Chains A and B, each alone.
Chain A
Amino acid sequence: MTHTPPVPPVREVQPSPRQMMLRRALRHRGLLFGGAVMLVILLIAIFAPLLSQHSPYAQSLMARMKPPVFLGGEATHWLGTDALGRDYWSRLAHGARVSLMIGLFAATISALIGSTLGILAGYFGGRVDMAVTFLINVRLAMPVVLVALAVVALFGGSLTVVVTVLGLLLWDRFAVVLRAATMQVRKLEYVAAAEVLGASLPRILWKDILPNVMNHLIVIFTLEMAHAIILEAALSFLGLGVQPPTPSWGLMISEGKEMLLFEPWLITIPGVALFLLVLSINMLGDGIRDVTAPEGRN
């Protein structure tokens, strides 16, 4: 090799903000780990019927409490079966749907309530702020688990009731954080400019305020999603959440509790699944905060 082609001159191209954010994201280990685990669980939830050859509801008296493969079980039920002979893997995979759905819908309801209150309080200040702060105080004073249990007991345990009550209870953090964030954004000049130009109030809130507090909104959304998933599991565990025979991880732990002494894997498997899901959502949220926060930028 005597002839080398001329190296093209390196052009200094300023990466776009989006590219810079992507680069930061790809360097963030927690974000990548959280995102990957979350993606796997999401795929399992979506393709649950395809991934499991048994129905999560099909009972079999002949195949009760079969141990999982790693404890000497057979490959047909690789995570074993529960006390009613239902395939544990199938219940776990379908349970992921319940957890994710409750997390997503409950967090969406709370995000709508909390961010509306928070943005209005932060934008208007004064009496509106006082009223919202008061509401936040009232909400914080109410014991979440107790109120949720009472409401579920009164209205009956169903997915809809659990999602609604959690959504109505978990909006406080959205309101607190978005109130503070909006207060900061509101002082910025482009908001004043929009006001001077005669932009309507919905336009200012929607086009000027919301995009600039969006990163906070996303971070709190992940936190509250994890919170809702844990609470649903706790409610189901106490027997006042999702009702049997729906496959819910909390319910699986509750059912496995009876066999705690002899078959501890019955509670270990759904417990680890719950732990991984919540961990991955939290890490994803922390990662998004690190990547999008202005102070995290070099």
Chain B
Amino acid sequence: MLLFTLKRFGLAICVALTVSAISFGLLYMAGDPAVAIAGENASSVDIAAITAQYGFDRPLLVQYADWLGGALTGDLGRSWYFDLPVTQIVTDRLGVTVTLGALAISFALILAIPMGVAAAVRPNSLIDRAALFLSVVGQAIPSFWFGLILIVVFSIKLGLVPASGSASWKHFILPTVVLGYYATPAIMRLTRAGMLEVLSADYIRTARAKGLDTRKILFKHALRNAIIPVISLAAVQMGFMLGGSIVVESIFALHGAGYLAWESISRNDLPVMQALILVFSMFYILFTFLADLLNAWMDPRLRVG
């Protein structure tokens, strides 16, 4: 287990370094960053001054090392737009996004696991087909459109929940549904497949044969084993969700990190963009790392290799 952990940790670090290099490189993809900061009407003297001030004249590798060193100590540079530390701006907004992500994944799990179990208990039944139908349809609904439709129905027509903002818990209801439903089909299908496989296993037949209560068999014996891959999928989905929160947050004007990303893009605030790409990637890497560890811990067969 220790060897597995170390190997997996090494991989996570390598991936993190590569991603950091890419998000750093983003700054230079569109040309001279000094020109971008100075604006369209800047003189060459201004540009030279900015180049010197920000250190853009140093070799790229040195700049990257400098940025990476800063990132490791929690210093991600200064925002071009606010002239404030990027770390402060990002951490201020991250809470909303993480809350939204946690709510959305909980919503998806609460919806998907019972549906998956019900579908697996009676394959090809009405419930199974309904669940399959929902998952096929659900995957085809664009989330930004779904969000707008929910706003029309629940905020405008029915007046049940606020349409935008992040002031109270009520503001999180619709975004949670929009962000969460997208992960539901995949989790449901995996739960169903896992349950189907486990339910045909010998030990379930034994449990049935010795007259164990069906509910006990389902939830204590079968679900426990079928849930293992679901947990790791949920972790991966959570990583995707944080990255996908940008669309949902901008529809509902939820002031989280995703909304910040959208604002930073329109403000041409590259340091904040860089930091956000880095932060979202790190979340994903962390979640998948933890999920793999959890899996290996629960299922020793996975520790090899």
Residues of A within 8 A of B (CB): 30, 134, 137-138, 140-147, 149-151, 153-155, 226, 230, 233-234, 237-240, 250, 253, 257, 260-261, 264, 267-268, 271, 274-276, 278-279, 282-283, 286
Contact = CB atoms under 8 A, between A and B. Distances in A.
Given A141-B15, A145-B246, A261-B156, A253 B281 contact: no
A37 to B, nearest CB: 11
Contact of B242 (A143, A226, A268): A143
A117 to B, nearest CB: 15
A133 B284 CA distance: 16
A143 B137 CA distance: 24
B73 to A, nearest CB: 22
**What 10 pairs between A and B have smallest CB-CB spacing?**
A143-B243, A279-B140, A154-B30, A271-B145, A278-B140, A143-B280, A153-B265, A141-B281, A138-B18, A137-B15
B280 A253 contact: no
Contacts of A151: 26, 29
Contacts of A279: 136-137, 140
Contact of A140 (B136, B137, B250, B284): B284
Given A143-B243, A146-B243, A146-B277, A230 B262 contact: no
Interface string B138-176: 011111110011011000100000000000000000000
Contact of B244 (A141, A145, A150, A260): A145
Interface centre among B11, B15, B140, B242 (most CB of A within 10 A): B140
Given A149-B262, A264-B152, A275-B142, A234 B22 contact: no
Contacts of B280: 143, 146
A144 B139 CA distance: 17
A137 B281 contact: no
B85 to A, nearest CB: 20
Contacts of B148: 253, 257, 260, 267, 271
Interface centre among A233, A238, A274 (most CB of B within 10 A): A238
B27 to A, nearest CB: 9
Interface centre among A143, A151, A226, A250 (most CB of B within 10 A): A143
Interface string B262-276: 100110100001001
Contacts of B11: 134, 137
A142 B140 contact: no
B139 A146 contact: no
B183 interface: no
B14 interface: yes
Contacts of A230: 142
A142 B145 contact: no
A155 B285 CA distance: 28
Contact of A260 (B152, B285, B288): B152
A143 B265 contact: no
Given A138-B15, A233-B145, A261-B156, 8 more contacts: A134-B15, A134-B18, A138-B22, A141-B15, A146-B246, A233-B144, A237-B144, A267-B149
B33 to A, nearest CB: 11
B136 A138 contact: no
A135 to B, nearest CB: 9
A138 B18 CA distance: 7
Contacts of A240: 265
A28 B265 CA distance: 46
A260 B144 CA distance: 13
Contact of A238 (B140, B247, B273, B284): B247
Nearest to A226: B140
A273 B243 CA distance: 26
Contacts of B285: 141
Contact of B145 (A134, A137, A253): A253
B143 A234 contact: yes
Interface string B1-41: 00000000001001110110011001001100000000000
13 contacts: A134-B15, A141-B284, A141-B285, A143-B246, A143-B281, A143-B284, A146-B273, A149-B262, A253-B144, A257-B148, A261-B156, A276-B140, A282-B140
Contacts of A282: 136, 139-140
B254 interface: no
Contacts of A154: 26, 29-30
A233 B137 contact: no
A145 B277 contact: no
A194 B54 CA distance: 59
A30 B261 CA distance: 39
A142 B247 contact: no
A150 B156 contact: no
Interface in B106-155: 136-137, 139-145, 148-149, 151-152
Contacts of B284: 140-141, 143
A51 B63 CA distance: 56
Contact of B151 (A147, A237, A260): A260
Given A151-B29, A154-B29, A275 B140 contact: yes
Contacts of B142: 230, 233-234, 250, 271, 274-275, 278
